[in-house]
């Protein structure tokens, strides 16, 4: 490999990127746009659910229960209704996400030491929100019931029966259970998928469309020098965008960074080789910028968004879909990102995803180099 010729190809591609305003916009604005949209838009923390109450008793005990809902960060009691039809219309019209119905004998059953049932009505069209709302409501009622049980035992001079088994909760790595802490780091994988696949898919296709490929073929530059020279600028851009995403995640969103910067960039470098090789192969095969950009978006960005574990947990995907995720390179890089950011994991502990990315990179490089021929055919 002649480094003078290689540097000439790198310089040519760098100048081309600088002259292409669309590429510059993608390079400069994509990290900021995706970090902002996904960092604020994708939020799995469900809080301040709107609640309407149908209190059939109106006693001091029922009001005490409602105060427990009002004091919870997960609920926002916005009003009361006077019957089931009003509550049904409110839920149907989207005026509330949860309806609480307190029975007419609520305080009496509590005074007798008997269990009382509080009804929670949710809109099941949003299954995830409905299940979480029911879980939160059960927790609030359980806390109130425990208080009342302790009062009953104290008034009747009966010793409480301790539970046979208790759960002592400890949350590691994401102590506050904030969704942004595992969503925001994964945005770097999406940014690099766009930079690596979408932009590099235009490299060879652009040369064919503009008629400059014939000039390259007529020069002494080798096929390997063309491949490396065209990918080096995008490789540098990918690492730069990785640094920008990491900086925004830590300084703007407050995501903890407990790992090594070196490990982060080693994983990013291998991942970039994979997606750049994929984009280059698409460019060689299509020879058309429009087709290459569309295929690059479908092959790079969409799988990284949907099948990598970034948006949906892989363990909860259908059994027929889970094997497909092993073919998505972003799956392994997102594991590295989350482990480095939240766990502070070293490279040795990340051997499995790193090895998978390395094998993936070797396969993609082999296919890409063999598919590119320095000829007009």
Rounded CA separation 84/255 (Å): 44
Ramachandran category for residue 55: left, alpha or beta (phi over 0 → left; psi -120 to 50 → alpha): beta
Residues 79 and 216 in one domain: no
Residues 229 and 311 in one domain: yes
Would you say residue 124 lies in a domain? yes
Rounded CA separation 376/373 (Å): 8
Residues 233 and 338 in one domain: yes
Taking 90 as the threshold, does the pLDDT of residue 132 lie above it? no
Q: What is the pLDDT of residue 109?
A: 79
Lowest mean pLDDT among 97-101, 216-220, 315-319, 357-361: 216-220
Would you say residue 166 lies in a domain? no
**Full residue range of the structural domain in which residue 63 is found:** 49-155
| Residue after which a domain boundary falls, among 107, 124, 155 | 155
Give the CA dihedral 24, 28, 33, 39, nearest 10 degrees.
150
Rounded CA separation 215/209 (Å): 13
> Could you read off the pLDDT of 52-103 as tens digits, one per residue?
999 888 888 888 888 888 888 888 888 888 888 888 888 888 888 889 988 8
Residues 12 and 144 in one domain: no
Would you say residue 377 lies in a domain? no
Q: What is the pLDDT of residue 360?
A: 92
Domain count, the chain: 2
Rounded CA separation 101/171 (Å): 33
| Residue after which a domain boundary falls, among 155, 186, 212 | 155
Cβ neighbours around 80 below 10 Å, total: 15
What is the percent of the chain where pLDDT is above 90?
11
Give the length of the chain: 377
CATH number at residue 83: 3.40.1710.10
Q: What is the pLDDT of residue 363?
A: 92
- List, in order, residues 6 or more apart from 162 with CB less than 8 Å away: none
Residues 60 and 11 in one domain: no
Q: What is the pLDDT of residue 147?
A: 78
**Which of these, 163, 160, 99, lies nearest to 130 by C-alpha position?**
99
CA separation (Å) from 371 to 1, 270, 272, 308?
19, 21, 19, 27
Helix axes 329-338 and 261-286, enclosed angle (nearest 10): 160
Residues 122 and 197 in one domain: no
CA separation (Å) from 256 to 43, 173, 180, 311?
17, 9, 11, 20
Would you say residue 304 lies in a domain? yes
Q: 262-267, long-range: CB within 8 Å, 24+ apart, which pairs?
A: 263/336, 263/340, 263/345, 263/346, 263/347, 263/350, 264/336, 264/337, 264/340, 265/239, 266/347, 266/354, 267/333, 267/336, 267/337, 267/340, 267/350, 267/353, 267/354, 267/357
Would you say residue 206 lies in a domain? yes
> Could you read off the pLDDT of 250-263 as tens digits, one per residue?
998 888 898 899 99
Mean pLDDT, the chain, whole residue set: 82
Residues 187 and 323 in one domain: yes
Taking 70 as the threshold, does the pLDDT of residue 44 lie above it? no
> Could you read off the pLDDT of 163-199 as tens digits, one per residue?
545 556 667 777 766 777 878 888 888 888 877 787 7
> Could you read off the pLDDT of 281-324 as tens digits, one per residue?
888 888 787 788 788 878 877 888 888 888 778 888 888 888 99
> 342 near 173, Cβ under 8 Å?
yes
pTM: 0.77
Q: What is the pLDDT of residue 267?
A: 92
Range with top average pLDDT, 107-111, 136-140, 265-269: 265-269
Rounded CA separation 190/196 (Å): 10
Rounded CA separation 217/374 (Å): 6
Residues 62 and 20 in one domain: no
Taking 70 as the threshold, does the pLDDT of residue 249 lie above it? yes
Taking 70 as the threshold, does the pLDDT of residue 160 lie above it? no
Token digits for 216? Answer: 């390259």
Residues 129 and 230 in one domain: no
């Amino acid at each position: 490999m002649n480094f003078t010729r290689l540097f000439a190809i790198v310089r040519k591609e760098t100048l081309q990127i600088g002259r292409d305003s669309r590429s510059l916009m993608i390079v400069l604005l994509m990290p900021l746009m995706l970090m902002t949209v996904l960092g604020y838009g994708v939020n799995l923390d469900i809080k301040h659910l709107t609640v309407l109450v149908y209190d059939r008793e109106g006693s001091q005990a029922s009001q005490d229960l409602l105060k427990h809902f009002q004091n919870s960060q997960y609920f926002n009691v916005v009003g009361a209704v006077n019957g089931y039809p009003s509550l049904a219309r409110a839920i149907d019209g989207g005026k509330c996400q949860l309806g609480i119905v307190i029975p007419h004998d609520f305080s009496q059953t509590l005074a007798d030491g008997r269990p009382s049932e509080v009804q929670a009505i949710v809109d099941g069209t949003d299954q995830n929100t409905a299940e979480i709302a029911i879980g939160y409501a059960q927790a609030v009622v359980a806390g109130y019931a425990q208080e009342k049980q302790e009062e009953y035992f104290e008034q009747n001079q009966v010793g409480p029966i301790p539970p046979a088994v208790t759960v002592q909760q400890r949350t590691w790595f994401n102590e506050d259970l904030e969704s942004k802490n595992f969503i925001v780091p994964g945005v770097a994988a999406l940014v690099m998928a766009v930079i690596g696949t979408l932009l590099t898919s235009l490299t060879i296709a652009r040369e064919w469309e503009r008629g400059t490929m014939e000039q390259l073929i007529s020069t002494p530059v080798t096929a390997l020098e063309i491949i490396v020279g065209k990918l080096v600028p995008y490789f540098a851009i990918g690492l730069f965008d990785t640094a920008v995403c990491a900086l925004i995640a830590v300084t703007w969103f407050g995501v903890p960074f407990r790992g090594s910067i070196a490990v982060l960039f080693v994983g990013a470098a291998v991942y970039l080789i994979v997606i750049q090789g994929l984009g280059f192969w698409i460019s060689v095969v299509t020879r058309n910028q429009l087709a290459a950009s569309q295929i690059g978006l479908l092959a790079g960005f969409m799988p990284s968004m949907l099948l990598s574990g970034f948006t949906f947990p892989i363990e909860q995907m259908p059994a027929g879909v889970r094997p497909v995720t092993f073919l998505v390179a972003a799956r392994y890089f997102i594991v590295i990102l989350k482990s480095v950011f939240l766990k502070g994991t070293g490279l040795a502990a990340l051997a499995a995803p790193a090895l998978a990315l390395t094998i993936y990179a070797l396969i993609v490089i082999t296919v890409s180099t063999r598919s590119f021929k320095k000829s007009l055919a």
